[in-house]
Structure 1
Amino acid sequence: MLELVTDDLAAHGLVDFSLRRAAKAAGTTHKVLLYHFAGAEDLLREAVEVLRERRVTSSLAAAFDPGHGQSLAERVRALWPVLTGSGEGQRALDQALGLAMYDPERHAALAVDAADRFLPPLRAMCPAGWSDERKDEVAELVFAALRGFLVQRRTGGVAGDVGGEIGFAALVRMLEREEAVG
């Protein structure tokens, strides 16, 4: 059921999301969904998590593809097209981030879960010789910068696309310099 609801969310986004719409997508009733989920918010959170997991899996596959290079900068460069693309559920994930910012008391988990999922692989991309503290700092910086560039691209029109790309290029250069320092 969750996969079917997630597919509907990917296709139609969060606008007008309800238990009835989710039940229709899953081929069941809203009462059956309430048996399995605590409510519409719980179902939404779980469906967003499935979408995010699909996106994380795709972007990390690109980042760890041996054909893209092994440095942190090269791996971050490889995952960027996946993050900026119009792939499955992108609109719903963007809307989920907006919802988390709009009403953090109710929906903060929609954004926090992304950090929890992305930070460990970003740490793993850092050079082995770096201290754990440095890996943590750089992973947090990369995650925050990528999130900011994505928001800029999604909300800034053509200027946002240009600004996001300029910022991303600067981030990659900074990572190259950081790695060169050792």
Structure 2
Amino acid sequence: MNTSDGARAGYRRSAGSPRGEARRRELLDRVTDDLAVNGLVDFSLRRAARAAGTTHKVLLYHFDGADDLLRQAVYKLRERRIGNALPAIAARGGTLAEGVRAIWPILMEEESGLRRVLDQAMGLAMYDPARYADLGREASGQYLPLLRSLCPDDWTEKHRAQVAQMILATLRGFLLERLISGDDSGVTAGFEALVRTLEREEAAG
């Protein structure tokens, strides 16, 4: 993957006018759709331009290089994943454990391509943190508020933050373990243990 081509090339950035912002969102949606289908491998500014039906110079008018465009597209993919989870959470009931149980199939779902691409993004963050650390930090920034919102209303903010961080780290571990070992049964058993732990935590208050 090459995300450095054309970055900081000196083209004028969009000034943020309503028309410019609408055009930027349109281009970002097209690039995001391309990522969802084709993944991050061989991503470049020119590939993004082809997907958006424009030129790399136009993209550099609206985005601060290929890395910035990639970061924003991955952010939008996570927004889609979180949006997919919200109806499932509402349908499962109001407990923390049930909310996490509702989220899990969305994180595991492969057909939309979201999981594959977001796994690749986390791989980049681990492989080259100096360049791609934002891909990991922004993931936490998007998921943690959702997980905190599942916690009981009478918990303190500190308690919610601690439990949300524990859930996020544990689910990430399960997803990584499934990816590298293919041990579906072991991961499922671990997830059920997590759910039981959350049930006890909620019962204890």
- State the TM bucket, normalised to the shorter chain: over 0.9
Deviation of the 1:61 alpha carbon? 2.8
Correspondence for 2:196? 173
User: Are 1:114 and 2:135 counterparts?
Assistant: no
Code of the residue aligned with 1:77 in structure 2: it is R
Correspondence for 1:139? 164
Percent identity reads 58
Q: How many residues end up aligned between the 2 structures?
A: 178
Correspondence for 1:101? 126
Code of the residue aligned with 2:161 in structure 1: it is D
User: Are 1:77 and 2:106 counterparts?
Assistant: no
Correspondence for 2:85? 59
SS at match of 1:128: coil
Q: Deviation per CA, 1:64-117, whole angstroms, max 9, x where unpaired?
A: x1x311100011001100111113422111100000000011001111111111
Deviation of the 1:119 alpha carbon? 0.9
Code of the residue aligned with 2:148 in structure 1: it is R
User: Are 1:35 and 2:58 counterparts?
Assistant: no
Instruction: Give the TM-score of the pair, scaled to structure 2.
Output: 0.84
Code of the residue aligned with 2:164 in structure 1: it is A
Q: Deviation per CA, 1:34-74, whole angstroms, max 9, x where unpaired?
A: 111111111110110110110111123322x1x31110001
Query: What are the ranges of 5 or more consecutive residues in structure 1 without an aligned counterpart?
Result: none
**Paired residues of 1:13 and 1:91 also in contact (CA < 8 A):** yes
Query: What are the ranges of 5 or more consecutive residues in structure 2 without an aligned counterpart?
Result: 1-26
